[in-house]
Amino acid sequence: MNQERSIKNALISVFYKDGLEDIAKELNNLGVTIYSTGGTLSFLEEKGIEVKAVENLTSYPSILGGRVKTLHPKVFGGILSRREKKEDQAHLEEFEIPEFDLVIVDLYPFEETVANGGSESDIIEKIDIGGISLIRAAAKNHKDVLTVSSRNQYPELLKLLQEKKGKSNLDDRKSLAIKAFQISSHYDTSIHNYFNQNAFEPNLKISEEESKVLRYGENPHQRGIFYGKMDDIFTKLHGKELSYNNLLDVDAAVNLMLDYQNESSTFAILKHNNACGFATREKLVDAYKDALAGDPISAFGGILISNKTIDLETAEEINQLFCEVVIAPNYEESALEVLKQKKNRIVLKQHNTSLEKYTVRTTLNGYLVQEKDLAVEKKDALTTVTKLSPSESEVEDLIFASKLVKHTKSNAIVLVKNKQLLASGTGQTSRVDALQQAIVKAKHFGFDLDGAVMASDAFFPFPDCVEIANKEGIKSVIQPGGSIKDELSIKYCDDNKMKMVFTGIRHFKH
């Protein structure tokens, strides 16, 4: 059923006035009676638009500093009345209530006020009461009422007014009602999350207004969508659109580099969420070359990230490699021109923006939520458990390796020497397998393990890993500790002049 409705009366009460003038003039031209309040009323009058004050309809002024303006039966009655109900029509006639066929109402900028660092009192005042009530009422009665709940919908409304001469059908009204409920739901979620930001309540509310349909999900037969404001994190300077798998790798890269943002020039190469190359050097080009040396095979088609501005010399080296994505805080203009030579290569400029504090995953018929692993080991927090203590340079490598292993899929072992990732064992079902994988890989690419350090994401239940490491020339180890058999590993290290420190922090990553 078409259920066409004409607009006779409109209620307009908005925070944002841009774009409103054209709408109001078109309504005037169509002979629609406009009711309005406060600042919107003044704005329309200044533009020479014929408008009636809601206060004259309700016989109540705006009170409490504007907190109460439209919360009145003569307003809500006109929105919620059912046109086909004789009882509703009788009430409207009895109490002299006009039917509102169009409601244009937006919401106070709560999220923007929070994002801009507003005071608590400013934020509280931006919790809309009347606006959200009007939007919900109009959307509920979409069978008869057209709801416009955002200035982003003005072009759609203006087109409808011009093309249909003030008439709408049920599809028009239902489409805008869906958007209205989405806006009201997102608004309430934002308020809840603001008050709940320092708590860990047993409920989960997530709402993202922006989304991007991806080419596909993890595989071509799966659909994929990204929800969120990616532009807050990156400016895309070149290349094709990011894929689902690209985004997973980019997320891993960004979180990894956060732990090294204050280091000297650091470069990482990631594949399938794990670092396959990583190095810190005085010059960025050297950091890149040493990161690439860690595994030049896996680097093919990988994700590259730097903690410093990429210069021309580094860009020319990168340009010799096929890579999917390059991420940096900035680029020299000449470097950017080089990186743009590959048509599909994605080049991202990363903004200094904070990331979410929690991770969320779907599991079975629900969700798993946890705090992010933001723990970073520091020198003064390490406990030396062996007779011999690591040297200053070994301690630096141990911390460097411990931060790396935190971002590596469990079970994980990382081998580092002179702030260069030599190899890692990732995602293995045993820690011994992870270590052996790392040793084989390091040797395959010609690295000498003598003097390297080893990091483990969790404790050693047996001394087998330190024994294997020792036989390869690895003399310094960092691990959480906490096994009931720690003493066996400690004794082996002491007997073989190895050094081992405990962090007390496990870094499982699944």
CB atoms closer than 10 angstroms to residue 286: 17
Of 118, 164, 185, 131, nearest to 11 (Cα)? 131
Half-sphere exposure of 269 (CA within 13 A, CB side): 29
End-to-end CA distance of the chain: 53
Q: One-letter amino acid identity for 31? A: G
Tell me how long the chain is. 510
User: Sheet harboring 146-148: ordered strands across?
Assistant: 52-53, 33-36, 9-13, 102-105, 146-148
140, 164, 205, 289: the catalytic one is 140
Question: CA–CA separation, 429 vs 406, rounded Å?
Answer: 17
For residue range 409-438, what is the model confidence (pLDDT) as tens digits? 999 999 999 999 999 999 999 999 999 999
For residue range 149-175, what is the model confidence (pLDDT) as tens digits? 999 999 999 999 998 888 889 999 999
- Residue ranges with strand state E in 308-392: 323-328, 346-350, 358-363, 366-371, 383-384
308 classed as catalytic: no
Q: CA–CA distance from 429 to each of 71, 401, 486 (Å)?
A: 62, 20, 20
pLDDT at 356: 85
For residue range 267-297, what is the model confidence (pLDDT) as tens digits? 999 999 999 999 999 999 999 999 999 999 9
| 121 CB-contact burial (10 Å; exposed 0-12 / middle 13-18 / buried 19+) | exposed
For residue range 16-75, what is the model confidence (pLDDT) as tens digits? 998 899 989 999 889 999 999 888 999 999 999 998 988 888 777 777 777 777 778 888
pLDDT at 186: 92
Q: One-letter amino acid identity for 113? A: T
Compute the 3-state secondary structure of the chain and give helix, strand, coil in percent, each to the nearest 5: 40, 20, 40
Rg, Å, the chain Cα set: 31
272, 283, 342, 443: the catalytic one is 272
Question: CA–CA separation, 300 vs 240, rounded Å?
Answer: 17
User: Which residues on adjacent β-strands are paired with residue 279?
Assistant: 267, 420
User: Sheet harboring 323-328: ordered strands across?
Assistant: 234-238, 346-350, 323-328, 302-306, 266-271, 274-280
Between CA 140 and CA 227, with CA 187 as vertex, the angle to 5 degrees is 105
Residue ranges in the chain whose pLDDT is less than 50: none
pLDDT at 3: 83
pLDDT at 166: 84
pLDDT at 92: 80
Question: CA–CA separation, 209 vs 204, rounded Å?
Answer: 17
Give CB contacts under 8 A, 24+ apart, made by 389-392: 389/499, 390/453, 390/476, 390/499, 390/501
pLDDT at 96: 85
pTM of the model: 0.83
pLDDT at 137: 93
Phi, psi (rounded to 5 degrees) for 146 = -95, 125
pLDDT at 129: 87
CB atoms closer than 10 angstroms to residue 476: 27
Between CA 506 and CA 270, with CA 381 as vertex, the angle to 5 degrees is 50
Question: CA–CA separation, 469 vs 438, rounded Å?
Answer: 10
409 classed as catalytic: no
Phi, psi (rounded to 5 degrees) for 347 = -115, 120
DSSP 252-285: HHHHHHHTTTTSSSEEEEEETTEEEEEEE-SSHH
Token digits of residue 451: 């003097």
